[in-house]
Amino acid sequence: MNLSDLIQYIKDFWNDGWEKKALIVMGVVVLIILVYAYNPFYARTNITGNGDSQIAPVTPVPVTTPNTGTVSSNNSTNSSDNVTYLISEEQAKKIALQGNSGFRAGQPIQGTVVVNQTTTVVWIVPITKASQSKNVYVDVNTGKIVEV
């Protein structure tokens, strides 16, 4: 079979009845549907939900501040209602923006992060720039940015 025989075969096929052409078209459609239904080319994970990431509510964690002098107290109850941190919210915002020019800082929230099996209490400062956003974690005791 050479090229001229192939061309003649295609011409003969084209001149045949419409039934043969319709059968081939139906076969191609069924093949496309089967390939789409079973999708053997790549697998996707089944994700349900609306796709929005949700941040779990953060509960404040009491942290004791080091005492530099002698403190005398006659208080017999332990109270963790008023927890003071060495780094305030405003200071955490400023620290988060220092290495990120052009970003704006949102409202910091308190939380904890675990790095190398060490739990650290941090201010979680959301920063945004146009459509780009990320969180910066500032240690409440030292003021250093914690890399997560």
The answer to whether 136 and 89 have CB atoms below 8 angstroms apart is no
Q: Which H/E stretch holds residue 29?
A: helix 18-38
End-to-end alpha-carbon separation of the chain, Å? 68
Q: Is residue 30 part of a domain?
A: yes
- Total domains, the chain: 2
Residue 72, Cβ density class (10 Å: 0-12 exposed, 13-18 middle, ≥19 buried): exposed
Reported pTM: 0.44
Amino acid symbol at 27: G
More confident residue, 76 or 42: 42
* CATH code: domain of residue 108: 3.10.450
Q: Is residue 43 part of a domain?
A: no
Q: Is residue 60 part of a domain?
A: no
Q: Is residue 81 part of a domain?
A: no
Residues 65-82 pLDDT 10s: 555 444 444 444 444 455
Q: Is residue 65 part of a domain?
A: no
| Rounded Cα distance, 125 and 113, in Å | 13
Range of the domain at 31: 3-38
